[in-house]
Structure formats: C-alpha cells, structure tokens
Amino acid sequence: MVWLTGGGLVLATLMIAGLLLLVVFNGTLTFWPKKLTQITTHAGMKYLGEVSRSEAYQHDGKPAHRQLLRTANFDLFGDHFKWISRHDVARIDYPAEAWTVERQEWGLFVGFLKEVRIDGQPVSQTFAELHGPARQRFHQLKSMEKNEIGEVNRAIEELRLDLRRIELKRGKESPEYIRAVAETTKRETELQAEYAKLGAEVTRLRAEDARYTVVLAEVNGQTKEQKISEIVRAYPANHLNLLQQIGVYASRWWEFLTDEPREANTEGGVLPAIFGTVMMTLIMSLAVAPFGVVAALYLREYAKQGPLLSAVRIAVNNLAGVPSIVFGVFGLGFFCYVVGGGIDQMFFPEKLPTPTYGTGGIIWASLTLALLTVPVVIVATEEALAAVPGSMREGSYACGASKWQTIRRIVLPRAMPGVMTGLILAMARGAGEVAPLMITGVVKLAPELPVDGHAPFLHLSRSFMHLGFHIYDVGFQSPNSEAGKPMVYTTTLLLIGLIALLNLSAIYIRNRLKKRYVGAQF
C-alpha cells in the first residue's frame, strides 16, 4: 500500500516532467533547419518536403505506417501538407540542391532555385548577393508605408476630429465652424498633395523592387517567379554544415523575438505579443502594488481586530479562488463599458460612436488582472506584516516614534521580502492568465503597439497581443493549425520561461532581502 501512494507521487512528478520536456523539446527544435526529403512513389509522383511526423494507421484493415510531409508551396498546390503511406514509397532521396525558401506571403516554398532575374532577364549575380539589398528595400518600403504615409493619414484624421469637436461645441452654423471648415479644407488639400507625392515615391520603389526576381521550381518542375525582396530567408537545406545550421537557427530565433507575425500568426515573430504581455504585467503591478499594500496595512496595522475583520479577511482570501473569467466579465462590464464609456462621453465625444476607451484595451485588461491578483498581494503582505515581531514595534514606540514612522522605518522594511514575493507571484499569475483577457481587450493581431512615437506616446486604450492568447489563437483559430503547431510550442516555451523567470526572481529577491534584514534583527 505504501507503494501505491508512492505510485501517486511518481505519476504526478512524471506528468509534470513529461509536459515540461515535451514543451522544451518541441519548442527548442522548432527553428532547427530540417532536411528536405524527396519521396518518389510507386505511381511515379514526386514529393519534396520536410518530414513533419509519422504515425501508424489502419489501411484496409492492416496496420500501416505513414508520414506527414510538409510539401509547402501553398500557392501552387493549395495545401501545406501531404500524407504519404510507407507502402507507396519507391525511393527516398535528399537532393543536395533543394532549397527551403521562407516567404513573406504564402508561407514556405520548397524546391529548387532555377535562376535569378533582373527585368525578366537571367543574370549572373547570385541570389545571396541580391537578397541583402532587396530586403533593405523591402524594409524601407514598409517603413515608408507605416511611418510617413501613416503620418499623413493620422494628420488627416486629426483634422476631421478637430472639426467634429468644434461642431459639437459650437454647432454647425457658428462662424467658428465655418472658419474651421475652410481651414481644414486647405490643410487637407496640402496633406493630400503630400500623400500623392509619397504615393509616387512608393510606387517608384515598388517598381524598382519588382525588377529583381528569382525563379523557383518545385520538384515536379512547375515554376514560380518570386520577388527577391519578399523572401525572408532561403537556404539549401540538405547541404548546410553545422555552423550554417546554427546560423539559420539563431536567425530564426532572432526573427521570432524581434519581428512581427505574418501568415495569420503562424510564422514570423511574436514581438508585439511579448511587448503586450510585459506591458500589461507592468501596468498591472503598478496598479496592484500600492492598493494591495495599503489594504494589507489597513487590515493588519490600523483596523480593529475582531470577528468582522476576520470575515473580511476570509472574503478577501477567497476572492483569490474566484475564477478569473468572472473578473473578466466584471472588467468588461464595469471598466470597459461603464468607466470607459464614461471617459468617451466626457473626453472623446468627437470620435463617437467609435469607442476610444469604451471597448477592450490594455488598461482595462491590466486593471482586471490587478483586481484578480490583489488578493494575492494582500494575503502575502499581511503575512509578512504579521511576521514582524511585536517587540520591534513596541521598541520603536518606546523610542517615541509615531505610528507611521514605525511602519515606514521598522515594519515595512522587514516585511519587504514578503511583499515583493507576493507581488512577483501576482505578476506570474497575471502573465499566465488568458481567459479574462479574451473579453477585455486582447486581439489576435494588433495593428499598433500601445507605445509609439506619437503623443501621448502611451496609448492605454489600444488593444494588444498576448503570448497566452497567441497560443490559443494559433493553435485553435488558425486555418492552418498543423503549420502553426511548432510556433505554438515555441510561444509556450517563451511564456513558461517568462513565468519561471518571474517565479525564480521572486525566490531570489526573497532570499536576498531576507539576508539583508536578518542581520539587522535584535
């Protein structure tokens, strides 16, 4: 029977270890360049692709084996994957000149580089020579579209809003409004001219860009001409040496951590999601720390202890066990609609009926999570405060210190490790929550980060991306979830890593602060 209980423990540890290993293994392997396998079937069909996984299945009632080949080339085949049964396979090769091409659109291409063209004519320059400048052009174009043209659009939108503000304030017949209309029209024509100029520049760059192409051929010979600038990365998968493999691996990680997603989030990077997660957690801790500590100080130091207070204490403790989705519902109803709607009515009437604060946004999501985690901080702080010996307080009072002086100089510093631990645990919990965010402002693809170069720089009303929601979205909502699966693993790894980091730092800070104050005890 003892062994049975041991079995329970082993099973529990085994499951955790298995899960972590699964995530770490798959997460770290995702970006390693895979070999391209060419399979020729008995029917004479050729397939080229990365072997994704294989499984046993029933074929005509007999056990059989098949492989899932990532044949990619979605624009040519209309499919990303192909199951190939082992009994169909006639030959397996690893063609040395096969390339894996990652593209900005349409996903992966696997096949052969036939020729490099400029203006439709084959040239002698290699792909590698042209790729660098082409990518530069691509980024330049993108930044022009985003920044300069975006700037003009923003200015036009601002003009419209200014006009609307005047209309709301003074009415349509007022002289101010009529004057403003004239002014606006003038400004708008100027901006339109600027817009046209920029547009022409973009068109010119595009035309320049379109001159450089590369002809790709898939394994059966079908070709596709592709702009070089739209190729993110290309490598001859089957004759990379170890160093080159590591290079591809590192460059993919770099892209993952610093770039924006593409292809419905299944490729590219997760920078906006990392940014959103971190930012939301920060705002949350800014909100939760003072309130949690103040509430705990009140409960422990100021309030009269009694049955009512213990009831309040139990209630606060139990809030930590209320499902996060309930807080999400509250956040949507109260923060987004009541508070946010109120703010819109008061400060942004010109934008209505388009809501500014009256819909999901990073500030509301953060506040919701703050509410969710405030009990954690209260409980931790209270425990830390209770652990400060009464003799120290009495000593302080005896020396003539006031209550606040005692708390500030004696109690709080000694309780600090506990407070910090509570706060960081709250952050760890907040960073991993997804359900309440789903209804208070997280989106699968946020067009803009909550921080940018335009006043007021911090846009708290914007919706944001989140690592946890990214997992849910890519794994479940994506049309091509098989291709997204490796991404999910990597994102999971990142999220677990982030949370582990927070937890570890909680432990570290606790230990350090403890050491600092343990020496100072009487």
Partner 1 sequence: MPTLTEPPPPAASPRAYRRTTSPAVRLVDKFTTALITTGGLMVIVAVIGILVYLVSVVLPLFRGATLTAAGRYPLLTPDRVNQLWTLQLDEHQHRGFILDRQGKLAVFDVATGKILSDEPILPATPAITAFTRTLRGGYIGLGFADGTIRLGRIRFTDAGAEAVLEDPLTIGKKDVPVHRLDYKVSDRREVVTVLKADGELVWDEVTRRENILTGKITTKLAKHDLPYQPPAGHTNLPDYLLQNSQGDQVFLAWRDGTVQRYDLRTIDRPLIAETTDFTPEPGIELTNLQFMFGDQSLIAGDSAGSVTAWFRVHRPEAGTADQYRLVPAHKLEAHTGPITATDMSTRDKCFVTGSTTGDIWLRHMTSKRVLSRVTLEKSIRATHLTPKGDAIFALDSAGHAHRWAVHNPHPETTWQTIFGKVWYEGYDHPDYTWQSSSGNDDFEPKFSLIPLVFGTLKATVYSMLFAVPIALLAAIYTSQFLDKRLRMPIKSTVETMASLPSVVLGFIAALVLAPIVENRLLQVLATFLLIPVVVLLGGYLWQMLPRHVTLRWEGWPKFALLLAGVFVAVLVGRVISSPLEAWLFSGDFKAWLDGRVGTAIPGIATLAWPVCLAVVWYAQHKIITNRLNQTLAGRSRVVVGVIELGKLLAILAAATALAWITGMILTQFGMDPRGSLVGTYVQRNTLVVGFVMGFAVIPIIYTISEDALSSVPEQLKSASLGCGATQWQTAVRVIVPVAMSGIFSAIMIGLGRAVGETMIVVMAAGNTPLMDVNIFNGLRALSANIAVELPEAVKDGTLYRMLFLAAVSLFVMTFALNTVAEIIRQRFRKRAFQL
Name residues contacting partner 1, limited to 403-432 (CB under 8 A): 403-405, 407, 428-429, 431-432
Q: C-beta of 248: minimal distance to partner 1 in Å?
A: 26
Q: With CB under 8 A as the contact rule, which of the stretches 135-143, 201-209, 300-308, 342-350 interacts with partner 1?
A: 300-308
Query: Minimum distance from CB of 444 to partner 1 (Å)?
Result: 12
- Closest contact distance (angstroms) between CB of 365 and partner 1 is 13
Decide if residue 295 touches partner 1 (CB under 8 A).
yes
Contact between 371 and partner 1 by CB under 8 A: the answer reads yes
| Minimal distance, residue 460 CB to partner 1, in Å | 20
Q: Which stretch binds partner 1 (CB under 8 A): 93-101, 181-189, 252-260, 488-496?
A: 488-496
The sign of the CA dihedral 26, 31, 32, 33 is: positive
Q: Does residue 497 belong to the site contacting partner 1 (CB under 8 A)?
A: no
Amino acid at 152: V
The span of 109-117, 204-212, 287-295, 450-458 binding partner 1 (CB under 8 A) equals 287-295
The DSSP result for 466-511, as a single string, is -HHHHHHIIIII-TTHHHHHHHHHHHHHHHHHHHHHHHHHHHHHHH
243 binds partner 1 (CB under 8 A): no
Q: Kindly state whether residue 66 participates in binding partner 1, applying the rule CB under 8 A.
A: no
d(CA 184, CA 187): 5
CA–CA dist 480, 108 (Å, integer): 13
282 binds partner 1 (CB under 8 A): no
Number of H helices, E strands in the chain: 17, 13
Please state whether the peptide bond connecting residue 33 to the residue before it is cis, i.e. omega within 30 degrees of 0. Answer: no
Please, which residue, 111 or 375, has the CB nearer to partner 1? 375
Residue linked to tokens 């960081």: 424
Shortest distance (Å) from residue 491 CB to partner 1: 9
Three-class SS string for 231-294? Answer: EEEEECHHHCCHHHHHHHHHHHHHHHHHCCEECCCCEECCHHHHHHHHHHHHHHHHHHHHHHHH
Selected binder of partner 1 within 112, 138, 327, 364 (CB under 8 A)? 327
First to last CA, the chain: 49
- 488 lines the binding site for partner 1 (CB under 8 A): yes
278 binds partner 1 (CB under 8 A): no
User: Among residues 226 and 491, whose Cβ is nearest to partner 1?
Assistant: 491
- Report the distance separating Cα 217 and Cα 226, nearest Å: 10
Question: 377 and 284 in contact (C-beta within 8 Å)?
Answer: no
Q: Is 352 in the site for partner 1 (CB under 8 A)?
A: no
471 is an interface residue for partner 1 by CB under 8 A: yes
Q: Toward partner 1, which CB reaches closer, 266 or 324?
A: 324
**What are the structure tokens assigned to 9, written together?**
């423990």
Taking Cα atoms as reference points, which of 422, 375, 391, 385 lies closest to residue 407? Answer: 385
Binders of partner 1 among residues 435 to 454 (CB under 8 A) are 435, 438-439
157-186 positions binding partner 1, by CB under 8 A? none
Contacting residue, 275, 337, 348, 397, with partner 1 by CB under 8 A: 337
Angle between helices 412-432 and 362-387 (to 10 degrees): 140
By CB under 8 A, name the one of 44, 78, 175, 321 that touches partner 1.
321
The reply on whether position 3 binds partner 1 by CB under 8 A is yes
- The three-state secondary structure class of 66 is strand
Q: How many residues bind partner 1 (CB under 8 A)?
A: 88
CB of 298 to partner 1, least distance (A): 2
110, 225, 298, 404, 405 from 397: Cα distances, Å: 77, 83, 18, 10, 9
Out of 262, 472, 505, 509, the residue judged to bind partner 1 by CB under 8 A? 472
Pick 137 or 444: Cβ nearer partner 1: 444
